[in-house]
Structure 1
Amino acid sequence: MRRQKRDMNSRAFDKGYQAGLGGRSQEDCPHENDAHRQAWISGWREGRSDHWDGLTGVSGVHKLRAV
């Protein structure tokens, strides 16, 4: 659990990926810090791409990292 809190860029990317995969807007980014915001948006873009490619549900499980 502590490792997640230390690596905020990785966590922001994962949360952005989940948001993009879920179809949420890019404007929903909760980060003010530029580095965290960039990581979140990168994850969001990848999530949106996977959403458009149909990698939702069971077909997209391989993209998620184990927590």
Structure 2
Amino acid sequence: MRRQKRDMKTRAYDRGYQAGLSRRSIDFCPHVEEAHRLNWISGWREGRYDEWDGYTGVSGVHKIRAL
């Protein structure tokens, strides 16, 4: 649990993926630091691609990691 909290880059990617999958705008990126922002945007893009390809609901469960 603590290791997950320490790795902010992975958490930023995961949160961005969740935001992209839920169709939120890229403008809602909460990070200011460049490295975290880039990871969040990368996750957001991946989430948007998966949402466009239909990986939502049960078909996309295998791609979502536990937060």
Secondary structure of the equivalent of 1:55?
coil
| Structure 1 segments of 4+ aligned residues over 2 angstroms from their partners | none
Residue 7, structure 1, aligned to residue 7, structure 2: yes
Matched pairs, number: 67
Equivalent in the alignment of 1:61? 61
List gaps (5 residues or longer) in structure 1: none
Deviation (angstroms), 1:64: 1.0
Output the amino acid matched with 1:22. Answer: S
Calculate the TM-score normalised by the size of structure 1.
0.95
Q: Distance in 2 between matches of 1:48 and 1:66?
A: 19
**Sequence identity percentage:** 72
Calculate the TM-score normalised by the size of structure 2.
0.95
Equivalent in the alignment of 1:26? 26
**45-54 vs 1-10, greater mean Cα deviation:** 1-10
Deviation (angstroms), 1:4: 1.4
